[in-house]
Amino acid sequence: MQVIVVSNSPSKRTEYFVEAGRNLQAEVCFLTYEELFNCLPSLRQAVVKLEPWVSSETDFLRYALLSEEYKETLQRLDKIILPGDVYFLNPPHALLQALDKKETKQILSANDLSVTPMLDTPRSFEELVQALSDYGRGCFLKPRYGSGAGGIMAIRYQPRQKKWVVYTTLQKVDGIIHNTKRIHRLTKEQDILPLAEAVMHTGAILEEWIPKEQLQGENYDLRVVCGEEEIDYVVVRCSKGSITNLHLNNNARLWSELSLSEDVRQRIYLLCRKAVRTLGLQYAGVDVLIERGTDTPYIIEVNGQGDHIYQDMYAHNSIYTRQIRTIKKKYDHADR
């Protein structure tokens, strides 16, 4: 049984996945999506792991078009009938569900899993102002599709004073809206309006702002890498602000550093494993918020390709190593 990892081009995540296979003396190789389409009809005895497209595009609207192209690729793959001994690790239809934050929340909520609540999605800046005024608390405006904090806007608005405070990765430079790798603080409506409109143009969701638990004065949430039955890794993502993604120069802390009860930890484990199964995934990275003062866990989103944790890759590469061991054990047995 060979294992194939697929993306549009090689990256650190595909490189370390192949390296984990090499260290296990397992047959693991990389293919592009074009190569995968060409070889699928004749492929035999293989497990295929689909990774997201790699892109250095910073133009937010152009990147949204690339994301659409990637979704179309998954939709094409979903229509292909695989030979009986070829499997997707995470099937394309499940990855498409996880890419759609709105659909993900609806599916999980329907299965009694707690998620960060959504408000009605605004279609214009005027509707956004009205929604924020009616709600009376801070909100997150996010692209409906995608991950990595790209395009996220943490918004506080005081309608009486017409005061804004927005934290976002977006920045408008020379008429082009760029997604950057740092957080910008905006307070002027004329600066905020074009960014919010761009996010809504690509499809957006509006989420309630739930206060996050803190560790040593910093807000934190969790990236829980897990399968249907096991937890592989938990990284604590800490930030002075509300956006905690680690590639934005935020701090990664250890799961063992948190003073959470064993009951809360087990509730988080159960919540994440059930979310993975409910979405039809085998592996995922589940982002979990713990509400300050109640220790109630909420799923923020589920990333069907969120099993890459650089702190682990560069140290022990244990996530990919265990994943490949599990794949070989499960599918070698299935084909006997």
> pLDDT digits over 117-153, tens only?
999 999 999 999 999 999 988 999 999 997 766 899 9
Which of 208, 231, 264 terminates a domain? The answer is 208
Q: Do 197 and 271 share a domain, yes or no? A: no
pLDDT, one tens digit per residue, over 197-213 is 999 999 999 999 999 99
Query: 3-state class of 189 per DSSP?
Result: helix
In the sheet that holds 204-208, the strands lie side by side as 118-119, 204-208, 139-143, 153-158, 163-173, 176-186
Q: Do 13 and 145 share a domain, yes or no? A: no
Q: Do 65 and 193 share a domain, yes or no? A: no
Per-residue DSSP letter, 149: T
Contact 51, 36 (CB under 8 A): no
In the sheet that holds 2-7, the strands lie side by side as 28-32, 2-7, 46-50, 86-88
Asked whether residue 190 is domain-assigned, the answer is: yes
Asked whether residue 330 is domain-assigned, the answer is: no
Q: What pLDDT score was predicted for residue 333? A: 63
Q: Do 73 and 107 share a domain, yes or no? A: no
Cα 49 to Cα 87: distance, rounded to the nearest angstrom: 9
The tally of domains found in the chain comes to 3
Neighbours of 42 (CB within 10 A): 7
Q: Do 55 and 84 share a domain, yes or no? A: yes
Which of 155, 184, 208 terminates a domain? The answer is 208
Asked whether residue 327 is domain-assigned, the answer is: no
Q: Do 123 and 197 share a domain, yes or no? A: yes
Torsion of CA 127, 132, 138, 141, to 10 degrees: -10
Q: Do 106 and 221 share a domain, yes or no? A: yes
Asked whether residue 77 is domain-assigned, the answer is: yes
CATH code (residue 304): 3.30.470.20
Show the tokens assigned to 265.
Answer: 């930890």
Q: Do 215 and 108 share a domain, yes or no? A: yes
Asked whether residue 322 is domain-assigned, the answer is: no
Q: Do 300 and 227 share a domain, yes or no? A: yes
Residues of the chain with pLDDT under 50: none
Which of 165, 185, 208 terminates a domain? The answer is 208
pTM > 0.85: yes
Q: Do 57 and 103 share a domain, yes or no? A: no
Asked whether residue 181 is domain-assigned, the answer is: yes
Asked whether residue 324 is domain-assigned, the answer is: no
Q: Do 134 and 62 share a domain, yes or no? A: no
CATH code (residue 28): 3.40.50
Domain that holds residue 170: 118-208
Q: Helix-strand-coil percent breakdown of the chain, rounded to 5?
A: 40, 30, 30
Q: Could you tell me whether strands 231-239 and 176-186 are parallel, antiparallel, or unpaired per DSSP bridges?
A: unpaired
Q: Do 51 and 138 share a domain, yes or no? A: no
Q: What pLDDT score was predicted for residue 249? A: 77
Asked whether residue 183 is domain-assigned, the answer is: yes
